[in-house]
Amino acid sequence: MKADIATYVSKCLTCSKVKVEYQKPKGMLQQPEIPVWKWEQIATDFVTKLPRTPSGCDAIWVIVDRLTKSAHFIPYKETDKMEKLARIYIKEIVSRHGVPVSIISDRGAQFTSKFWGSLQKAFGTRLDLSTAYHPQTDGQSERTIQTLEDMLRACVIDFGGTPFEALYGRKCRSPICWAEVGDSQLFGPDLVRETTEKIVQIRNRMAAARDRQKSYADLHRQTVEFNVGDKVLLKVSPWKGVVRFGKRGKLNPRYVGPFEITKRIGPVAYELNLPDSLKNVHNIFHVSNLKKCLSDETLIVPLEELEIDDKLQFIEEPIEIMDREVKTLKHSKIPIVKVKWNSKHGPDFTWEREDQMKQKYPHLFE
């Protein structure tokens, strides 16, 4: 009986949409590959809504090398067109470090524009865009934005050097350490060998750190897989202050749907068949934003079809008298009628006393 109750409750669409999940997050941690060389793979994002500088800049373009963790913080104006940002990108990144093999970013308007896509296609750069509402994909730039100072400290402690040394293979020449860092140390014959050794060291330590991170993260996650054709519910707003799909306010559902899965994209992402009302939403989602819909769609009643009284109770009305009988008791006989109801839950018909039905619903006996 307990199992039957649990199964019945799990198929309640309303409960599925509004109740909080206390289970582990879905999907094992998926990590991007470790770059082979400096500035071969980068991550990028924008910091906007900043106080305006005297030169008119009110935003910062963050571009991070995923191997050495060195970064460029480029000021710009939010009103700048993508053409101007492309010129900045070529001047600050391509001219200094060469064309990257891949770029990880979110689905901001700048990164999904046709101009940006055409430019990177011409360069031969692969664009790795995050799935909808899953910023963890671009965790490198997100983390850089949030904790730049912590990242620099960690880099110095773990590697024993600065991002400058990881990038250029030598110490930074400055007046503070002029005597300590001479030309022979800066441009000696062992520069190439030392640089290569440092890159190998960085990649080995990065691989070890990734393994520790994945091992720890997967302890607090669960493996969930869906099949093409499955119906799933889509999480509305997992982050405070984020409004999605027009859903706003505390009493709105936590999930919308159900929607059909049309394609599996990799191990933890799925493509959904979204309605026209959500045509502006990217239709590929991380598994953590999905929940399997177990409810029977034939039992789903649209709210506009329900009649509710002032006590928030569903109003049921008899439709017709289907049959008549006389129930014989020990000392009396009671006429009863078989009544068909407009019930949305429970039986379609019941047997009722004829005198009571005539009193409440006389129009059925005319």
Instruction: Give the model's confidence band at 207: pLDDT under 50 very low, under 70 low, under 90 confident, else very high.
Output: confident
Report CA-CA distances (Å) from 137 to 173, 297, 331: 36, 34, 79
Residue 301 has pLDDT above 70, yes or no: no
Instruction: Count, in order, helices (H) and strands (E) of the chain.
Output: 11, 13
What is the average per-residue pLDDT within 327-350?
A: 74
Residue 352 has pLDDT above 80, yes or no: yes
Using alpha carbons, select from 170, 163, 173 the residue that is nearest to residue 202: 163
**The model's pTM:** 0.47
Q: What is the b/e burial string over 252-273, where b = at least 16 CB atoms within 10 angstroms of the residue's CB?
A: ebbbbbbbebeeeeeebbbbbe
What lies within 8 Å, CB to CB, of 325 at 6+ separation is: 335, 336, 337, 338, 351
Q: According to the per-residue pLDDT averaged within each range, which of 132-141, 154-163, 250-259 is highest?
A: 250-259
Using alpha carbons, select from 130, 49, 119 the residue that is nearest to residue 88: 119
Residue 119 has pLDDT above 70, yes or no: yes
CB 104 within 8 A of CB 137: yes
Instruction: Output the CA angle 120-124-129, nearest 5 degrees.
Output: 50
Identify residue 17 by its one-letter amino acid code. Answer: K
> Which 3 state secondary structure label does DSSP give 274?
coil
Residue 315 has pLDDT above 60, yes or no: no
Classify residue 85 by burial, with Cβ atoms within 10 Å: 0-12, 13-18, 19+.
Answer: buried
Measured N-to-C along each axis, helices 148-159 and 139-146 cross at an angle, to the nearest 10 degrees, of 100
* Higher local confidence (pLDDT), 346 or 76: 76
- Residue ranges with strand state E in 289-360: 290-292, 318-328, 333-341, 349-353
What is the average per-residue pLDDT within 202-220?
A: 73
- Residue range 174-198, pLDDT digits in tens: 443 434 444 444 455 566 667 777 7
| Rounded distance between C-alpha atoms, residue 134 and residue 27, angstroms | 12
Whole-number pLDDT of residue 227: 83
Whole-number pLDDT of residue 361: 82
Residue 14 has pLDDT above 60, yes or no: yes
| Domains of the chain, CATH where assigned | 2-24+224-299 (2.30.30), 41-219 (3.30.420.10), 304-365 (2.40.50)
Whole-number pLDDT of residue 15: 67
Other Cβ atoms closer than 10 A to 324? 10
Give percent of the chain above pLDDT 90: 0
Cα torsion for 243, 244, 245, 251, to the nearest 10°?
-50
Average pLDDT of the chain?
A: 70
- Residue ranges with strand state E in the chain: 41-47, 59-65, 71-76, 102-105, 126-129, 231-235, 255-265, 269-273, 284-286, 290-292, 318-328, 333-341, 349-353
CB 77 within 8 A of CB 59: yes
Whole-number pLDDT of residue 249: 46
Least confident of 43-47, 65-69, 166-170, 201-205: 166-170
Residue written as token pair 């309303």: 14
| Rounded distance between C-alpha atoms, residue 351 and residue 321, angstroms | 10
What is the average per-residue pLDDT within 197-225?
A: 74
| Rounded distance between C-alpha atoms, residue 341 and residue 209, angstroms | 65
- Residue range 277-294, pLDDT digits in tens: 676 777 778 777 788 777
Instruction: Give the model's confidence band at 11: pLDDT under 50 very low, under 70 low, under 90 confident, else very high.
Output: low
Give percent of the chain above pLDDT 70: 58
Whole-number pLDDT of residue 244: 43
CB 20 within 8 A of CB 237: no
